[in-house]
Amino acid sequence: MTRDENDLRTFERERADLLSLAYRMLGEAGRAQELVQDAWLRWHGRNEEVENPRAFLITIVTRLCLNELESARARHEEARVTLPEPVAPEVIAPDVERISMAFLLLLERLSPAERAAVLLHEVFDYSHDDIAKLLNRTPASSRKLLERGRAHLASDRKMLTASREEHAQLLQAFLVASQSGEVATMLRLLADDATLIADAGPEDGRVVNGVRALRKPLHGAAAIANFVANASRPGQLLPELRELNGRPAVVFTRDGATFAALLVEIADGKIHGLYFQADPARLKFVH
């Protein structure tokens, strides 16, 4: 086997894990694919033998993601409210616990370094020494990063515990109630402190389905139910239950084209979070 063939076989063996790592770090499947391709070029173009190809590739992808996140912070690109790109099952291997929209949003609350430490330790079983080496920190600093990251995540991890059946039932019930404008039913399904986040893209004042898009998260069951009832336009959008990010979701189409995706998070028999992704640039991986 030639070196080219061996390099490709080794890389393809790790590609799925590299892609899932980059997607969790960035929340963008398209950019994750680009960085994984960049990792391939660096892997194939290396000038030395590598004892542990998997560790080498994970290190490359992690550092590329950290550079991307730090650069975005420096440019203040995310001043508006945004949602991660939802993905169909074939795009990234589904893992309900670790690619759900709820988990991705929890990760976004962490600093880039905390995000990397949590994922490397909990998903890839990296030790504190390994994380420290990859992040150019001391083992003690690595441990503190992980502790802070876990502390930020702990309070909201309950959002990841609903069964698939409960998730699907509540989502479908909310969809039916929203389409018919049944505010009372939506109130029964929503937690009192529920949050709605709608990402319609960077265009100021964009109108989605006849209603001006939200620029900030909407809090509270009553506010959400009333907004959804007012925003509903029966017949304009065709809803279909799909699988996105390892959970049941709703994909809305208009004139045969994907228009938006709705994902929810469930806990204690109530809907606590609704995520409406209507940014055309972030719907490329919804099939």
Q: What is the pLDDT of residues 143-202, one digit of tens each?
A: 999 999 888 887 655 556 678 899 999 999 999 999 999 999 999 999 999 999 999 887
Give the Cβ contact number of residue 230 at 10 Å.
Answer: 12
User: Which strand (E) or helix (H) includes residue 146?
Assistant: helix 139-154
pLDDT tens, residue by residue, 164-181: 899 999 999 999 999 999
Closest CA to 143 of 163, 120, 124: 120
Do 3-85+112-152 and 162-282 agree at the fold level? no
Residue 184 — φ and ψ, nearest 5°? Answer: -60, -40
Spell out the domain ranges in the chain.
Answer: 3-85+112-152, 162-282
Q: Are 195 and 273 in contact (CB under 8 A)?
A: yes
User: Radius of gyration over alpha carbons of the chain, in Å?
Assistant: 20
Task: Compute the C-alpha angle 26/167/260, nearest 5°.
Answer: 50
**Percent of residues in the chain assigned helix, strand, coil, to nearest 5:** 55, 15, 30
CATH architecture assigned to 162-282: Roll (3.10)
Contact assessment for residue 139 and residue 125, using Cβ atoms and an 8 Å cutoff = no
Length of the chain: 287
Sign of CA dihedral 107, 77, 259, 37: negative
Phi-psi domain of 76 (left: phi exceeds 0; alpha: psi -120 through 50; beta: other): left
3-85+112-152: what CATH class? mainly alpha
Per-residue pLDDT of the chain (287 residues; tens, 9 = 90+): 787 788 889 999 999 999 999 999 999 999 999 999 999 999 988 888 899 999 999 999 999 999 999 886 655 555 567 899 999 988 886 555 578 888 899 899 899 999 999 999 988 889 989 999 999 999 999 999 999 988 888 765 555 667 889 999 999 999 999 999 999 999 999 999 999 999 988 764 555 555 456 778 999 999 999 999 988 766 678 999 999 998 999 999 988 899 999 999 999 999 999 999 999 999 999 97
